[in-house]
Amino acid sequence: MPRREPTIHNPALVVTCPRCGSVPGALCYDTRGSRLPEGRVHRDRAAAHRDRKTA
Ligand SMILES: [Zn+2]
């Protein structure tokens, strides 16, 4: 089975980022308004996604 590398479809993108306020489906932005590299989100957002699954 081929391995799929995550690109823009980071699972954490389904939640709103508590750090930068990016809405679900939107990439994170840093403090200067620059978009984070595809597939990268703030640690808080990844945590929020995890909490969402367990809560
Ligand atoms: Zn963010």
Give tens-digit pLDDT for 5-45.
Answer: 545 568 899 999 999 999 999 999 998 989 998 778 999 99
Q: How far is the CA of 4 from the centre of ligand 1 (A)?
A: 24
Q: How far is the CA of 1 from the centre of ligand 1 (A)?
A: 32
Distance in angstroms (rounded) separating the CA atoms of residues 53 and 50 = 5
The confidence score (pLDDT) of residue 52 equals: 86
For residue 2, pLDDT over 90 is answered with no
Q: What is the pTM of this model?
A: 0.74
Q: How far is the CA of 2 from the centre of ligand 1 (A)?
A: 30
For residue 1, pLDDT over 90 is answered with no
Buried-exposed string 32-42: b where 16+ CB fall within 10 A, e elsewhere:
eeeebeeeebb
